[in-house]
Every structure is written in structure tokens, then in C-alpha cells.
Chains A and B, each alone.
Chain A
Amino acid sequence: MEKFEKLSGIAAPMPLVNIDTDMIIPKVFLKSIKRTGFGKNLFDEMRYNRDGSEIEDFVLNQPAYRDAQILVAGDNFGCGSSREHAPWAIADFGIKAVISTSFADIFFNNCFKNGILPIVLPQEVVDVLMKDAEKGANARMDIDLEAQTVTTSDGESFAFEVDAFKKHCLLEGLDDIGLTMAKEKSIDAFEATASQARPWV
């Protein structure tokens, strides 16, 4: 996995609440057996007309935001299905961080597996960042994972919380299957005990 340390990029505002995984990547694009290539269909139904032409006023179609690397989104981002195609599409588009007041649980976890940093901040802070994002291409936001800060284009800085283990994995770009396999002895021991206690499993 690609490391995430610092990011300085354009932030796109998407204030809509409850942006679900069907919006992020509609199911017609789930039929690939690969992990890549989903970026062109990110937010497909919001982004394109039926004939494939772009819907001009959709944020990521506006010239200022076509290269956005950060999303500032409304509450409960990523709700709905478990499809990892959602973070795959976000990453494939080039977005590396999403900021919201809350995220759906499965989506939140999926982000960390794909080098994307989901940042939870209180409403009043997200409001400030949303305003900053609305300034367009001239407003670059800075995210420092090590220091756990988001800084607006005006230099206003906000601290955020992140799980220590997840932070470590992102900073180092670690493959967590490898980490877990290093604990194989614990798993073996657990299996031995559990198969005695609950042999029907």
C-alpha cells in the first residue's frame, strides 16, 4: 500500500449528507474482478448524463476541482454497502483524504486499506473547511498525518484524532495481512483452545 504522510491539495466541497456507496460507485461498475480503473466512474450518476457527457455543475467536473485530492463532505459519508469499490474509485480518481463529521463504519475501515485518510471533525470545523474548499483551485488544504492536523489555505490549523494503529499502517504503507500472519502463533493457540471449548464450530 502507498504511504500517506503529508498531503497538500485542492479540496472539493460536497456538502450533501448521507452520500452513499451507490452514489460513489453505482453497482453497474462492480462487475470488474480488478481493483483498479474505477476512478472514471466515481460518482457516475451525479457526474455524467446518460449519453456519457459531463454534468457541468457537478463539483468534480468544474475546472477548479478536476484535480481535487481532498473531499470535504456532509455527514455520514460512505453509508450503505460494504463495496470496497467505493474507496478504490476514490483513490483511482486521485483523492487521498475525505473529511466529514462522520463516516459509515465499513467504508471508514476500507479507506485505511487503500491509503486513503478519512478525517472526522466536528460540524463547526467541517463548516470552516467546506467554506475554504468552496474557494476553488487557489485554495490548497494541507494535511499532516504525523502531526494530525488539517490546515486551510488561510493557515488556520485544526487537530484531528486518528486510531494509533491505523495511523501507523498508513504512515508506513503496511500490509496488515503480513502483520497478522506474524501473530500466527496466537491464532494457532486460539484455535486449539476454541476447538476444545466449542468443537461444533
Chain B
Amino acid sequence: MSPKTLYDKIWDAHVADEADDGTCLLYIDRHLVHEVTSPQAFEGLRMTGRTVRAPDKTIAVPDHNVPTTAGREDPAQMTEESRIQVDALDSNAKEFGIHYYPMNDVRQGIVHIVGPEQGWTLPGMTVVCGDSHTATHGAFGALAHGIGTSEVEHVLATQTLIQKKSKNMKVEITGKLMPGVTAKDITLAVIGETGTAGGTGYVIEYCGEAIRDLSMEGRMTVCNMAIEGGARAGLIAPDEKTFAYVKGRPHAPKAGQWEAALEWWKTLYTDEGAHFDKVVTLKGEDIQPVVTWGTSPEDVLPITGVVPSPEDFTGGKVEAARRSIEYMGLTPGQKLTDIQIDTVFIGSCTNGRIEDFRAVAEIVKGKKIKEGMRAMIVPGSGLVRAQAEEEGLADIFKEAGFEWRLAGCSMCLAMNPDQLSEGERCAATSNRNFEGRQGYKGRTHLVSPAMAAAAAITGHLTDIREML
């Protein structure tokens, strides 16, 4: 048998039908659903008299619209449109009998944080959601990717997707990371290397010592942004860390089935000699703490750098860079560490987990945020919030001057009341720095949680290594 990649193995285990031209029906093990991209899909089912084929494999949670301030049960906290979307999810979950974590449930949170936390996401699974950051679940060695609403409807009705296989790409991070360098810096550095279209048509497998050394939280951060590099999905082979994370979670395999599951999971790795269509290798030691200067996640530079000139680029990127620099209100040649910050946002499906908050607490403990700074920390789930409170992190944040919020997507995409105003400049731990992403004419610099914490203290983009 010819050697297979991890992607090949998961793919092969889920093909329910294959046509002569290679078009497959890929069986979906877990379908995650949120309120923004699902109402039209449920409506489609109703209009055609169809139903949800596998409600037990379908999990819904509202996250994009929900307010993150206390007393959010009060309907006045949401705009009418937001409320309609959340109410629609409530009633669709009931009508179709799918698993549901409503807004007032302590387990509610960002769908990509809730899935792994509740043990819905397991190695070797296929996981989809009407959300591009579904790639997050690849950290478990699950084939996970975002889909559009028509495909959401397709999965609801048939529990399959019409797919053709992507190509295999290997991203290897060798050696060790230097102090102050995190999973976020890895994933941004990779996009800086490949560009936002570099992964188009591929499923990426991240490997190498620096990836192995990451916690599950760190691995989720890396896979989360695979989509920002254009890849369909990111994968990391499961190992003892994965199994330890999964064990005992509410929907993980129970005693009688655990051993059988483990046996299969241990076969989920890329065979020696398996073929990759593209290979990218970075040395862990070479990766520095990075920030984005522009309006595309590929606009990445080490924090020690300066704002580039449009002339530094070629082709269509010249005009794009000119537009970005103007939008961001920057001057070519300006030191990145001289960029003053108005707001710090720590949270999102990229960096809203407990480990991210521990890293922040380490930096801000006993310090105060810069005067006039608006700084908020938004847990990825109610359970992350509870744990951070139990560990005393929340007290550290509040004493430093951070707002300590309830769980949701919040200012990552600003569909709820958490938004930037025109010209407001934010150091954010989220995943996209697109124009208007965090609010109309808002300006976003993507950074790691530690770098965001440092900026909150100093008031400008800061090299975290100077604070260690």
C-alpha cells in the first residue's frame, strides 16, 4: 500500500460515494452551527420539506451577535436584527432537535472553542461549520473546514458534502521557539511566508518539533489561521497531548469505547515517504514576535521592523499596500514600535482560551494599562471565563484596568456592540485585519496575546521580549 498523509487517511475514511470524475460525497461527523450563517439553511429545509438527517451530530451555539457585557439577557442589549438571528437559532435548534447551548448556558461560547471543550471534536473526524475558522479543529487531527450556507443546508439534509480532494501541503516548523514567541507568531509568520493565497487548493499539515511542543491551545491557534493562508484546512497529527486533552470531556468516547478509539487515533499520522505537493519549512529559532501593519493577514513583519513602502512590493500588491498604508494611517519607514494604540482586544477563536489568558496575566500582573487605553478581555466560552476566575486571572485583569467580559466573538468581527470607531487603532489577538473588520474605518494590528498585553501597558506596539 502506498504511504498516505494524515489528510489522505481521514479523507479515505469518510468517502461515502465517489463518481468517475473524482467528485465525492464526504461524510460529516460533526456539524457545528451558529446564528449568522444558518437561518437561511434551516429555512431552506422547511421550504423543501426536508429535515436534519443526523441531529445528534449537529451542535449549535449563538456566538457572533451576543453582547459580552453583564446583563446580556436583557433584550435591549441587542439590536432587533441580532435578536432575530439569535431567536431564530433558538427555535431552529428546538424544531430540529439538535444539541444546543443557549446564550445563558455556562457552556456557551465561540463555536470553535465550545466544540473541543465539550469533546465534540475528536481525532480523525470530519468537522464542518458555516464559518471559515472551523480550521481550528484541525489541531486534533480532524479534517475541519468552513462552508457556505448552501452547504450548511446540504449537510443538515444529507450529513455529507460534495467535495473533491485538495492537494497536500506540509508546513514544518523545526527546532525550538525563542522566548516571547508563541503559536500566534508561528501561524502569522507562515502566512507572511506563503501569502494569503499560498494555501489555496491545499490542506496543510503542520508538523515539526516546534508544533509538537505546543499545547493543544497553541495548536488550535495555529490551525485556526490556516484559512488566512488560503488553505481549506490545517491539520496536526494527534499525539499523547491530544488524547490527554480529549479524555473525560462530556462527549469524548466513554470507558467501553475509549480503547478502540485510541487504537484508531494512534494510526492517524503521515506515513514515512508520503507525498506532499508543496512543502514549506521555517526554523523555529528564526520566528520572531510579529505584528501586522496592513489590511491583509499576509502583511506581517517582526516587531523590530518598519512600515514598508508600496514600492517594496511587485504586481497588484503595490496598489494594495498603498491602499493599506493609507487606510491604516501609517508612514513608510515608521518603526512598528512607534505605533500608538487606542484599544486592546484579547479574545476570539484564535486566542480566547485559558492558556492565552495565562500569558496575558503574566505580563500585566501588578501593572496598570496605559491611561486612556480601552482594553477588553473576552473569554472564548463561559467555561474559560469560569476557569480564569478560579485561577485568579480575572482579578489580575480587572486590577490592571481591563474590562472582563462574557463569552462571544465580540470585537473580532464586531457584529455585536463591541466595535472600533472611525480611526480607532487596535492591537487585537483575533485573526483578520481587513478594512472595517472591527468597525467602520477601524484599524487592526494582529498580535499574540502577550504582545497585546504589552501594548495595553505601554500604549504602543511593543516588543514583548523587552518585558520578559
Contacts and interface: CB of A to CB of B under 8 A. Distances in A.
- Pairing of A with B: yes
Interface of A: 15-18, 20, 22-23, 26-28, 30-35, 45, 50, 74-76, 79-84, 87, 102-106, 109-110, 113-114, 163-165, 176-177, 179-181, 183-184, 186-187, 189-191, 194, 197-201
7 contacts: A31-B85, A45-B440, A75-B316, A84-B148, A105-B232, A106-B146, A113-B150
A28 B436 CA distance: 10
A189 to B, nearest CB: 8
B389 interface: no
Contact of B323 (A16, A20, A82): A16
Contacts of B232: 105
Contacts of A105: 200-201, 230-232
Q: Please list the 6 inter-chain residue pairs (A to B) with the smallest Cβ-Cβ separation, ordered nearest first.
A: A200-B253, A113-B150, A31-B81, A190-B16, A33-B39, A110-B148
B230 A83 contact: no
A45 B436 contact: yes
Interface stretch (B23-31, B330-338, B344-352): B23-31
Given A16-B316, A113-B148, A114-B150, A79 B197 contact: yes
A107 to B, nearest CB: 8
Contact of B257 (A33, A164, A189, A200): A200
Interface string B12-33: 0110110101010101010000
B82 interface: yes
Interface string B406-439: 0000000111000000000000000010111100
B159 A187 contact: yes
Interface stretch (B106-114, B124-132, B210-218, B451-459): B124-132
A180 B160 contact: yes
Nearest to A114: B150
Given A27-B415, A187-B27, A200-B260, A17 B317 contact: yes
B65 A82 contact: no
Interface residues of B, number: 81
A30 B16 contact: no
Interface of B is mostly: loop
B202 to A, nearest CB: 9
Interface in B145-195: 145-151, 153-154, 157-160, 162, 164
A191 B148 contact: no
B274 interface: no
B158 A33 contact: no
Nearest to A82: B146
A183 B15 CA distance: 13
B95 interface: no
Nearest to B128: A82
B201 A50 contact: no
Contacts of B59: none
Nearest to A26: B436
A35 B158 CA distance: 21
Nearest to A193: B16
Given A16-B320, A110-B148, A200-B260, A30 B36 contact: yes
Nearest to A123: B315
Q: Which of A76, A165, A189, A191 has the most CB of B within 10 A?
A: A76
B305 to A, nearest CB: 20
Given A17-B317, A199-B257, A200-B260, A81 B158 contact: no
Given A22-B437, A165-B23, A106 B148 contact: yes
A32 B80 CA distance: 11
A163 B164 contact: yes
Contact of A180 (B25, B64, B435, B440): B25
